[in-house]
Structure formats: structure tokens, C-alpha cells
A = this chain, B = another copy of it.
Amino acid sequence: MPERTGKYTLKISNNVTIRSSVGAAGKKESEGPLGKYFDITFTDNTLGQPTWEKSESALQKTAVCELLKKNGLVNADIDVIFAGDLLNQCISSTFGLRELNIPFLGQYGACSTMAQTMAVASIFIDSGAAERAIAVTSSHFCSAERQFRLPIEYGGQRTPTAQWTVTGSGAALLDKSNGDVTVKYITIGRIVDMKVKDATNMGAAMAPAAADTLYNFFTDTDTKPTDYDLILTGDLGKVGSELLKEILQRRNINLSDNYNDCGLMIFDLEGQDVHAGGSGCGCSASVFCSYVMKQLQAGNLKNILFIATGALMSPTSSQQGESIPSIAHLLNICSNK
């Protein structure tokens, strides 16, 4: 049973396990520093589909189906699937997963979705509401560019602070089985809006939300950054990561030793022309479900914090002159290996 620890944090029972995961990625991502860790990569980012939205749905479905296959499971073995994405009305998830016949709970946390789906799944598993659950999310460069910015055919210039939406998906299988990788604590984030309005600098908008959640977690658990092997944010990128360190330093929390960001890890920032780094739900999802899970399963990482961050605006809100509310959810994940 989950147990409240401090104001914002939940202690999860010892046996809530991230049993297995699948990270799927597109062409550019497969050519980046983490290329060899992805379970599935695509050289054709259309995935043979006639529209980018259908490509993203296929990507998400592929990740889930591969996860089931890898674990010798069939759809009916899964009690509930938690899924979400960036597209309007979360159509990557709903259309991608509609044929699976698995009870479905759509989650919306923008790029924080991988942490959100795993957090809610952990609580369902811990409480007995589900015996086996899947947490999944995705993003696709071309569907996101078209929806949030400009059609890619337009060839618009990108600003130096802009991040590159990852074409990728991550799916994780959770159960209660005393496995090697367990969820220990969860901190649900609050919406933070520091009035950043630049939709091409989402790292800056999201950094204060990551800082808020990390601060709440450290306070609630009475721990400090050096208690962890790795503190990994979702996709703050170059600008947001620096801001996060600066904000926490002002509160006497020093992240410099063991901090990294999925948006910085997935691409070679200089060589791959991605400006401030990767972003999108699929960024932290594919990095966590491939590279990070493999390190936890091998015992190379023992005790990490995974904090996925989301920018909760829409093109409409930005056109109306609004700022960008943000959120970050945290999981403390341990390896018993």
C-alpha cells in the first residue's frame, strides 16, 4: 500500500516492480549516442503510414506489442494501460491502442507523461487495483512540428533555445513481483507558471516545475542529491538544465555531481543540429525505457530519481498571449541487482 511521506511524496511498497520495458526510436535518435540501447529503431519515420499522426500511433502500438511479446504475455494479461501523448485529444494513444482491448486510462501531462503514467500505474499495482499494468507514451518530430509549430515542409528556422521533438516511444510493464527494478517513492507535481511566454524555450518554462518537485521530494524524504546515483530530468535541454541547477543552488541544493537530462543524452547536440536538445513525451520515455532501464537491470545504476517535465500550453493559449504552465512528476527507482 502506498504511504504518504511528508506533504507531497508517497512511499511505495518494496515489491512494485518495473518488470520490463521497450524503447523505440526513429532514424535520427538511432544515430545518436544512445542508438545501440533502443529495443526497436526505424529508418523510415513514416512507419509505412500515410500521415504523421498514424505514424506516431504505429510507433506507440509497436512499443506496446513488443513489450507484450518480450514478456510472453497476451493483451488479456494486462489489467490496465496508462497512455498519453502530445497530440490534440491524445490521438496517438487512442488510435494506436484502440485494437488492444485493454482497459485504458488516458493521461495528459505533456512531456511529463512517462513519469505520470508510471506513477499512477505504481499506485494501481501497489493497491491491488491492477496486477499488471503498462505505462506508455510517444512523440513524433513531424506530428509535433505540424501541430505546435509549422508544417515541416515549410522549412522554418529554429531558434537556439528550441528543442528537437524526439520520434520515439517508451513502454514499461509494472507488476508486484520483487523484481530487480522497483519503484520506491513518487512525488506528484504541482503546476508552476513563472510567466515564461516563449514557446521556443520550453526548457526555461519547465525548469521551475522540476525544481519545485525535486525540492518537495528532498524535503519530504530528508535526503540530498548525493544520496542518488543519477538525477535525471525529462527534457529540459541545455537551457532548462542550467536553470534548474541555478534555481536549486539558490535553495542550497547542489545538482552538479550526478545530474543529467534525457534531452541532452539522446542527441549529440553539436553533431546532430538539435540546438538545445531533445524534447517530447517520447524523449524521456525512450531514454528511460531503453538506456536507463538497462543500467538499472544490470545494477550499474542502483538508486535514481527520474523527473519528467511537461509544458502544459497549447498553440491556442500561446496565440492568446498566455504564459506556459509547467509540471514535473518524480519517481525514485532502485535496482536490487
Contact = CB atoms under 8 A, between A and B. Distances in A.
B3 A128 contact: yes
Nearest to A8: B103
A4 interface: yes
A135 to B, nearest CB: 13
Interface string A312-327: 1111110010100101
Interface in A107-124: 107-110, 116, 120, 123-124
A91 B123 contact: no
Contacts of A76: 7
Contacts of A205: none
Copies of this chain, complex-wide, total 2
Given A89-B88, A128-B4, A106 B105 contact: no
Given A108-B108, A314-B88, A325-B94, A128 B190 contact: no
B129 A10 contact: yes
Contact of A88 (B188, B189, B316): B316
Interface in A185-231: 188-191, 193
Given A88-B88, A90-B312, 6 more contacts: A7-B76, A8-B103, A88-B314, A98-B191, A104-B190, A123-B127
The 3 closest A-B pairs by CB, nearest first: A127-B127, A106-B108, A89-B314
Interface of A: 1-4, 7-8, 10, 50-51, 53-54, 76, 79-80, 84, 86-91, 94-95, 97-110, 116, 120, 123-124, 126-131, 147, 188-191, 193, 312-317, 320, 322, 325, 327
22 contacts: A1-B127, A2-B129, A4-B129, A4-B131, A7-B76, A53-B316, A88-B88, A88-B315, A91-B314, A94-B313, A95-B322, A98-B312, A100-B191, A102-B190, A104-B188, A104-B191, A105-B109, A105-B120, A106-B312, A126-B129, A127-B127, A127-B128
